[in-house]
Chains A and B, each alone.
Chain A
Amino acid sequence: MTAAGAALDRVGPKQGWLAHRHIGLHTALIVLMIIWAIPTLGLFINSFRPATDAFGTGWWSALFPPYNFTFENYEHVLGQSNIGTNFLNSLFISIPATVIPIFVAAFAAYAFSWMEFPGRNILFVVVVGLLVVPLQATLIPVLSMFASWGIAGTFLAVWLAHTAYGLPFAIYLLRNFMGSLPREVFESAAIDGASSVTSFFRLALPMSVPAIAALAIFQFLFVWNDLLVALIYISIVNPDNLPLTVSIAGLMTSQGAGTEFLGAAAFISMALPLIVFFGLQRFFVRGIVGGAVKG
């Protein structure tokens, strides 16, 4: 028996076992995915049905004749007078409120991972500890602070609020990622005379792209779907700056009618985050660290 044959013998059964295991895993994943997607599918189908049908019968009954689909719900949602402005406002709120916290968190995460300074661990624990502060508890003090600064109702107020709300988690996630980057990379850079700033921009930042992409999605979705923060910090002073979620919430009347439009509204509001997700998806799989250190 040659060495190669022995190697095949060793690999063969293992591969078969792996493949077998993958079939089970894939089946489980597919089943879970279908279960997970069914409510969304139901919502999607219902968003094309007239209110009486949608509330009277299950969404699956729409799949059988007589077919009764309509674009009325979408027309109603898109026909709201201020929906265009609110969509732009949503973008104008979400993009800076995603970029700013990630940028600040990246600096902080680098410092927490690779810079030595007194009290580093305690400071990090305090920052992570802020994760437990419920957002609602901060509304009143923060609003009165914004009021005294004269920025209540401005975009700046929501950017700052979302930055602050997003930072503890962003720092925690990025610190863990940057902390796991190979120490040798930074040591060699230091030997070559790179400053901390250079190491951050030339090494830490590009190598953390997968984590930053994941974080960007979390933060963008959080801000995009936010209703409460915008309502409290903006609506009282300047309703012109309100985001899309407020138009959607407004589809329901004070008596609780109008829920038939919410499905359509959900899909309109979902469209952009989906684009963002698929746009950033390739960054997840790109492993930059691989090959950075030659053994």
Chain B
Amino acid sequence: MARRFRWFMPLVVVTLVVAACGTSTTTDDKTVTVIGTWTDAEQDAFLAMVKPWETDTGNTVKYQGTRSINDILAAGVPTGVLPDLAGLPGPGQMAEYAAAGALQPLDDVLDVATYTDETSPALVELGKSEGKTYGVFIKAALKGLIYYNTAAHDYAASPPATWDELISQGATNQGDAEALWCVGISSGDASGWPATDWIENILLRQSGPEVYNDWWAGNVEWTDPKIKAAFDLYVDVIDNSYGGGTNTVATKFELAGDPLFSSPPGCEFFQQANFMSGLGKFADLAAGTDFNAFPFPAINPDYAKAVEGAGDLFGMFHATDAAKSLMKYLVTAEAQDIWVAAGGALSANKNATSYPDDFSKNAGAAVANAEQFVFDASDLMPSAMNAAFWSHMVSLTNGDETVDEALEALQEVAIDAYAAE
């Protein structure tokens, strides 16, 4: 018995090993592996979008949604273990992966003329590296919308065109509202990003797209008076916010707008991106009826047309026929229509118009037709810079740092972060 037992465990091990080898699936040419950052409802929407393609071509999409896409690609690019298609962390990494030869150029894959015609020029440009297209935006977001409760006051007829108008209209319609603004910048390990959006939106309307683009590229120092002016205005917003800086830091961004609807209201305005309409209390209310939003007003009237947006960049690592066909399909208006109809998503494609409500439709149009479109600056910065930007916004907001201290610290980070690029 003992002798038999002796061989039992190794046998089990060997059996398991054989079983494990047996379960390995070889990816055939009918399967496209895709990794993206969309999970949960967004994942369902993405899968709904690729469904017609699967039916038409007989191919299948193996999708994995994860927020750790940076880790996966960081390990995947040097080893060559890569999905066929994947979301990319940002244009900086895209250029890096393209230079490493991991990303495949899309110029022969896409119908470039149609794609360029249908897509916002700024987004087309961001997907290029060394003159070739490596990334496409298959999902976009509009930043800098100012939400309000229509029951308190409906700004739809005459939305404030300038920052001064916004402040004066806010004062007129304050009613019982405790504060002018609601702000919440807590978001797990990415806490602080909603505050960076604030700075970006202010800077864009104060100093214009050129300064904005120079700033994220590292060509404007953080201690520059223009950047300081944006930070000063942000501090002013926090001083007039519901619960002040301490509350702002503690409030989850997705619930920060909820006091708009409490009685008496906590605040009058709440600045967030278009996807906010699917989060917090907004999700249960009707966009355009119960709440609405107007675009971030111009601070300097010269920059009234500028719009800030963001998006999910997508690239191709293996140029298989199925992957090429899927990539081509994803940017079409037909596919994008399914994506936007599910709600919460905007398309970079002008011809995708089946938004579930006018609210999203207007936001989508604002992205696709923007005269001056800039991309989320913190997403474009080197990752060390981005992380420092987030964390200093938190310490600035809760009062641990003054504007000057934060800017000096950020400038120190910038010296190393941009040198490492």
Interface residues of A (CB under 8 A from B): 51-52, 55-56, 80, 96, 99-100, 103, 139-140, 143-144, 146-147, 150-156, 159, 197-198, 201-202, 227-228, 231-232, 235-242, 246, 249-259
Name the one of A100, A154, A253, A259 contacting B252, with C-beta atoms under 8 angstroms.
Answer: A259
- Determine if B24 is an interface residue (Cβ-Cβ < 8 Å): yes
Tell me the minimal C-beta distance from B323 to chain A in angstroms.
14
The answer on a CB contact under 8 Å between A232 and B20 is no
Please tell me if the beta carbons of A140 and B21 are within 8 angstroms of each other in the complex: no
- 16 contacting pairs across A/B (C-beta < 8 A): A52-B280, A100-B16, A139-B75, A156-B24, A159-B20, A231-B68, A236-B82, A237-B33, A238-B25, A238-B27, A239-B62, A250-B66, A253-B41, A254-B42, A255-B275, A256-B254
Q: B30 in the interface, Cβ–Cβ < 8 Å?
A: no
The residue of chain B having its C-beta at the shortest distance from the C-beta of A150 within the complex is B24
| Contact status A256-B75, CB under 8 Å | no
Given contacts A231-B66, A235-B64, A254-B67, contact A259 B21 (CB under 8 A): no
User: Other CB < 8 Å A-B pairs besides A231-B66, A252-B188, 13 of them?
Assistant: A55-B252, A140-B75, A143-B75, A150-B24, A156-B17, A156-B20, A159-B17, A227-B68, A231-B68, A250-B39, A253-B39, A255-B187, A255-B279
Do B2 and A202 have beta carbons less than 8 Å apart?
A: yes
- Smallest CB separation, B346 vs chain A (Å): 13
> Which are the 4 A-B pairs with shortest beta-carbon distances?
A156-B20, A239-B64, A250-B39, A144-B79
B190 within 8 A of A: yes
Closest to A158 in B: B20
Shortest CB distance A229–B (Å): 11
Binary contact readout B186-198 vs A (1 if CB under 8 angstroms, 0 otherwise): 0110100100000
B130 at the interface (CB under 8 A from A): no
Q: How far is the CA of A80 from the CA of B252 in the complex (A)?
A: 24
* Cross-interface CB contact of A250 among B13, B65, B80, cutoff 8 Å: B65
Taking each of A146, A151, A154, which has the highest tally of chain B beta carbons within 10 Å of its own beta carbon?
Answer: A154
B35 interface hit (Cβ, 8 Å): yes
> Within the assembled complex, what's the spacing in Å between the Cα atoms of A251 and B21?
30
Smallest CB separation, B249 vs chain A (Å):
13
Contacts of A253 in B (CB 8 A): 38-42
Chain B residues near A238 (CB, 8 Å)? Answer: 24-25, 27, 62
